[in-house]
Structure 1
């Protein structure tokens, strides 16, 4: 999986994840929606999520998790299981950062951070399973990468005496 593909998938998935968090957390908390807050939360969350998904192997790990659970790669079950790990990780990272940015770090930080986590995980998961096919399509087209294709084997070095050469 190329770095460009991971960056693009991180960017597109982070947009949806950050937007859903920025829009639905105020609703879940019962506070009014402030559109500037939604915009800034989406921008901050997208930047943070893109960096995290590019630097850390979140996507490859979530793919391996789905396969380890017994789902065939590319199947509906594989997509659904893959998004469980992906959404959990992204929800925790993006919501942590957005909560810190918006409310600061104090003794009640963990309570504020995790107060909406169960409901937001469900919302984020629903958004992710709907948005991921579009994100996957766009990232594949832009990077000209097929994420389901195994990487080509490295060419044999000159003088290599292996039976494959």
Structure 2
């Protein structure tokens, strides 16, 4: 009873926060999957504008982490259902599980390559480039200033 009341009060607070937000769409911001050996898998997730998350098994949670333990630690076929502001999105965990990826190393093989003969020769040496500069000349004009000499007495 107390946990149910606590869940719905936190969900109401998140609902009010998303209600006044400019962007109300639910976005996955981070998802991390850690394996704890053969004992289980820890899935850490974070969503933008999520009110609650429904985890595999049908339980609703406010937490950002779930632990899958026991016999069924495979993420194949498991989904997270995220409830936002009047919208619901589901994310398949099998798409994020590196164990389900079939990665094989590859090397490209080039086959059926044929040589092509061009009808013109290809020059590999570029032509020499020379820069010629014209001579620049200028004429010097002499400036003559005519002035008269004066003495200190002339100033007084």
Taking structure 1 as the reference length, what is the TM-score of the superposition? 0.24
The structure in which a higher percent of residues are strand is: 2
Higher RCO (CA-CA < 8 Å; seq separation 6+): 1
The structure in which a higher percent of residues are helix is: 1
